[in-house]
């Protein structure tokens, strides 16, 4: 069989790929790669050219074959495709684990590093440094017994994290709220009420059944006028999978959390780190535990006053003391009253063609690139468009697919992903190609697609990731584009570009009423911009509470005292909480980001990356947001460098100093604009 996934193509042959191609192609590729790796690992005197370049090539080829499969699985899902995709996951994971834990390869990289360091360039040295670090973090190089224990602990962690998630899911699904009096539904939107009526009919009960999924929870606590309803939802939501609330004790994660923390601590100790937070920082831009704690405290000190003033104002607006389940409701009311601008009213001003032209215009003005659509490139759906990007010299830089609209069988959300990674190796070269995926409302009734401003910001964000991938000048796939970039710095280009979607100059260019062509009227524009700092202090303190709790818990674990989950939470709250929280609130028990997901000792990264992005953008504000010199320095120091250099050094090269939190505080109105006093 001619398998399109195994052929050599500049762009994936999407039209020819069938679900039945997936598993045979992956099996064959992995077999070929394994045989080649075995040869490479047995080399007598390996060098960068004879060992590392071929390994980079193998990884590039594998990603290139697998990327269209995982992409199709996400955007045109079908049962057959999902089956093929799922069949490959364990094969790929076993392959990656074997590669990551290969003692012979580890020894070969170290040999090259020690013997050839003087002849290698900085990028090559960095690549080896990264590889050796990752081998160590995977337990390679440990004495046999510790290595065995490390593997066991990691496997147990996978199971415990899955258990945590299951408990949250079961507790969430088990709870619902039955409404028989329509008065109780006042304030909720018609779609939600219709859904609740349908659920009630399906269950054979009268009235309405509200479930505890996230959209319903958020809608109830922000829109429901009935206070008891808001309280019931708040209690059910914040006590899920815990010892409190309506499902108390049935899916209690308390012991699971303790076990997870104990295993993480043990894994970190086996690798000679003091604790799990130190282990997590080994691959991050932030260097030390005290540095992260000081960073979070600095933001908390700066934002506390603003948050307290916002809360006092909100209580005055509501005319009385507010409980936790009132805050979202009155905040929404206040925001509506004060700014009188809704996302729906903004839609007619942001037709997608206009926004895209404006967005490309921003990239063209900043970096001198040209972006043009190439018609007739086969893709996975008729709505998908393909664009090419050229350097100022006219040299091609790469290309990207844009899949903009929501449709059935497409995963929700928005993301940028690698289709082809850049490489320039002895064995051949490739230019980067990206997927930009969004879920905007499609065009209808002869109108173009109309975006909310939230959508516009999302598009700028993903395009920022896209530029990071497409404008890289790094030759080695493992360090090109977003690859190998410290995880707490990878959102810098995307959040940086978001700033342009709020800039008055740019708003004039990306807006144009789909009927009259008129740009967003000035009063609407200033109200829109003002919403950016609404309750920024409260939002900041809430994020800091999560981040401090997560980080301290992983840094302070001790064998004698255990995780102290609720104690640490209470200490953090005494320090940063502005909105009163009831004693029975158990939000850690459903905090999947850190207990089940990849954000363990990493929640601080949200704020960390925001600070980098705001401070980078402030450099542009100081010189003019389209200043070519500043843009060139940003491109040279950060955007084009991928993971080929340390993220902090890159930032310092661009800014002339380390990151400063004040730009973010000014951006959100927490510090006065332009105030540079120390």
The answer to the question of residue 494 lying near Zn ion (CB under 5 A) is yes
The least distance separating Zn ion from the CB of residue 609, rounded to whole angstroms, comes to 9
Q: 105, 116, 123: which is closest to 48 by C-alpha?
A: 116
332: which DSSP letter?
Answer: H
The least distance separating Zn ion from the CB of residue 477, rounded to whole angstroms, comes to 21
Q: Kindly tell me which of 167 and 494 has the beta carbon lying closer to Zn ion.
A: 494
* Choices 320-328, 488-496, 498-506, 668-676 (CB under 5 A): range interacting with Zn ion: 488-496
Q: Kindly tell me which of 171 and 613 has the beta carbon lying closer to Zn ion.
A: 613
The least distance separating Zn ion from the CB of residue 424, rounded to whole angstroms, comes to 27
Q: Kindly tell me which of 490 and 528 has the beta carbon lying closer to Zn ion.
A: 490
509: which DSSP letter?
Answer: H
The least distance separating Zn ion from the CB of residue 464, rounded to whole angstroms, comes to 8
Q: 443, 457, 217, 229: which is closest to 352 by C-alpha?
A: 443
* Choices 29-37, 300-308, 493-501, 512-520 (CB under 5 A): range interacting with Zn ion: 493-501
* Choices 309-317, 489-497, 508-516, 576-584 (CB under 5 A): range interacting with Zn ion: 489-497
The least distance separating Zn ion from the CB of residue 416, rounded to whole angstroms, comes to 7
Q: Kindly tell me which of 483 and 494 has the beta carbon lying closer to Zn ion.
A: 494
Residue 484's SS3 state is coil
The answer to the question of residue 585 lying near Zn ion (CB under 5 A) is no
Q: Residues binding Zn ion: what is the number (CB under 5 A)?
A: 1
Q: Give residue number: closest CB to Zn ion.
A: 494
DSSP secondary structure, 538-566, as one string = HHHHHHHHHHHHHHHHHHH-BTTTB--HH
* Choices 189-197, 254-262, 348-356, 490-498 (CB under 5 A): range interacting with Zn ion: 490-498
Q: Kindly tell me which of 171 and 609 has the beta carbon lying closer to Zn ion.
A: 609
Residue with tokens 């933001």: 299
User: Hey, what are 589's tokens?
Assistant: 């028990």
Q: CA distances (Å), 32 to each of 38, 41, 62, in order?
A: 10, 14, 10
The least distance separating Zn ion from the CB of residue 407, rounded to whole angstroms, comes to 22
371 forms beta bridges with: 389
Q: Kindly tell me which of 379 and 485 has the beta carbon lying closer to Zn ion.
A: 485
The least distance separating Zn ion from the CB of residue 60, rounded to whole angstroms, comes to 23
Residue with tokens 């939501």: 237
> What values do phi and psi take at 388, rounded to 5?
-115, 145
Q: CA distances (Å), 313 to each of 321, 462, 500, in order?
A: 11, 35, 30
The least distance separating Zn ion from the CB of residue 415, rounded to whole angstroms, comes to 8
Q: Kindly tell me which of 494 and 590 has the beta carbon lying closer to Zn ion.
A: 494
* Choices 206-214, 236-244, 494-502, 621-629 (CB under 5 A): range interacting with Zn ion: 494-502
Q: Kindly tell me which of 56 and 455 has the beta carbon lying closer to Zn ion.
A: 455
User: Distance between CA atoms of 156 and 259, rounded to whole angstroms?
Assistant: 9
Q: 212, 190, 211: which is closest to 202 by C-alpha?
A: 211
Q: 14, 63, 6: which is closest to 469 by C-alpha?
A: 63
> What values do phi and psi take at 78, rounded to 5?
-145, 165
In this structure, the number of other CB atoms found within 10 A of the CB of residue 27 comes to 13
Confirm whether 622 is a catalytic residue: no
User: Which is catalytic among the residues 53, 56, 259, 462?
Assistant: 462
* Choices 34-42, 59-67, 149-157, 492-500 (CB under 5 A): range interacting with Zn ion: 492-500
User: Distance between CA atoms of 104 and 220, rounded to whole angstroms?
Assistant: 57
The answer to the question of residue 511 lying near Zn ion (CB under 5 A) is no
Q: CA distances (Å), 59 to each of 130, 134, 213, 397, in order?
A: 15, 15, 39, 21
User: Hey, what are 558's tokens?
Assistant: 């001790």
3-state secondary structure 321-359: CCCHHHHHHHHHHHHHHHHCCCHHHHHHHCEHHHHHHHH
Which residues contribute to the site for Zn ion (CB under 5 A)? 494
Residues forming the active site:
462
């Amino acid at each position: 069989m001619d398998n399109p996934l195994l052929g050599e193509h500049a762009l994936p042959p999407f039209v020819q790929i069938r679900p039945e191609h997936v598993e045979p192609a992956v099996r064959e590729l992995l077999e070929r790669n394994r045989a080649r790796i075995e040869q490479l690992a047995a080399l007598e005197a390996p060098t960068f050219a004879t060992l590392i370049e071929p390994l980079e090539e193998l990884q590039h080829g594998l990603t290139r074959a697998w990327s269209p499969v995982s992409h199709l699985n996400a955007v045109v899902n079908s049962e057959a495709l999902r089956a093929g995709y799922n069949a490959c996951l364990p094969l790929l994971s076993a392959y990656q684990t074997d590669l990551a834990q290969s003692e012979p390869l580890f020894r070969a990289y170290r040999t090259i590093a020690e013997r050839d360091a003087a002849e290698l360039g900085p990028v090559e040295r960095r690549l080896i440094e990264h590889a050796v670090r990752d081998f160590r973090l995977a337990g390679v190089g440990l004495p046999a017994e510790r290595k065995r224990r490390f593997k066991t602990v990691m496997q147990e962690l996978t199971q415990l994290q899955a258990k945590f998630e299951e408990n949250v899911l079961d507790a969430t699904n088990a709870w619902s709220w039955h409404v028989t009096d329509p008065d109780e539904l006042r304030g909720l939107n018609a779609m939600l009420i219709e859904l609740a009526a349908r659920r009630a009919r399906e269950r054979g009960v009268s009235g309405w059944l509200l479930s505890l999924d996230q959209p319903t929870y958020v809608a109830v606590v922000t829109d429901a006028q009935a206070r008891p309803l808001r309280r019931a939802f708040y209690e059910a939501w914040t006590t899920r999978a815990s010892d409190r609330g309506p499902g108390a004790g049935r899916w209690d994660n308390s012991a699971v959390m303790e076990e997870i923390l104990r295993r993480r601590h043990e894994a970190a100790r086996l690798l000679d780190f003091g604790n799990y937070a130190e282990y997590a920082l080994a691959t991050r831009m932030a260097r030390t535990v005290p540095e992260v704690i000081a960073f979070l405290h600095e933001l908390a000190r700066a934002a506390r006053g603003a948050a307290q003033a916002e809360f006092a104002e909100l209580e005055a607006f509501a005319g009385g003391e507010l409980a936790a389940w009132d805050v979202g409701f009155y905040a929404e009311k206040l925001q509506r009253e004060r700014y009188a601008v809704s996302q729906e009213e903004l839609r007619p001003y942001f037709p997608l063609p206009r926004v895209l032209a404006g967005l490309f215009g921003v990239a063209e003005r900043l970096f001198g690139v040209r972006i043009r659509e190439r018609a007739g490139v086969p893709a996975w759906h008729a709505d998908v468009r393909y664009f090419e990007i050229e350097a100022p010299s006219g040299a091609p830089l790469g290309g990207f697919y844009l899949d903009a609209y929501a449709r059935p069988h497409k995963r929700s959300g928005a993301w940028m992903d690698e289709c082809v990674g850049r490489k320039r190796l002895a064995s051949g070269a490739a230019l980067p190609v990206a997927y930009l995926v969004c879920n905007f409302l499609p065009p209808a009734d002869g109108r173009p697609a109309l975006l909310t401003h939230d959508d516009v910001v999302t598009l700028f964000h993903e395009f920022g990731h896209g530029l990071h991938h497409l404008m890289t000048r790094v030759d080695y796939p493992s360090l090109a584009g977003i690859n190998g970039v410290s995880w707490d710095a990878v959102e810098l280009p995307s959040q940086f570009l978001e700033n342009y979607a709020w800039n008055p100059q740019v708003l004039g260019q990306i807006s144009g009423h789909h009927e009259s062509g008129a740009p967003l009227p000035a009063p609407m524009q200033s109200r829109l911009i003002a919403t950016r700092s609404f309750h920024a202090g409260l939002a900041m303190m809430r994020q800091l509470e999560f981040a401090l709790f997560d980080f301290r818990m992983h840094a302070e674990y001790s064998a004698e005292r255990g995780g102290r989950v609720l104690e640490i939470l209470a200490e953090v709250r005494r320090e940063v909480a502005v909105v009163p929280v009831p004693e029975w609130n158990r939000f850690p028990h459903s905090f999947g980001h850190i207990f089940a997901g990849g954000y363990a000792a990493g929640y601080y990264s949200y704020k960390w990356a925001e600070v980098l992005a705001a401070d980078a953008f402030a450099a542009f504000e100081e010189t003019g947001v389209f200043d070519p010199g500043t843009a060139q320095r940003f491109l040279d120091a950060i955007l084009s460098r991928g993971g080929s250099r340390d993220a902090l050094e890159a930032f310092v090269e661009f800014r002339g100093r380390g990151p400063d939190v004040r730009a973010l505080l000014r951006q959100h109105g927490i510090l006065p604009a332009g105030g540079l006093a120390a």
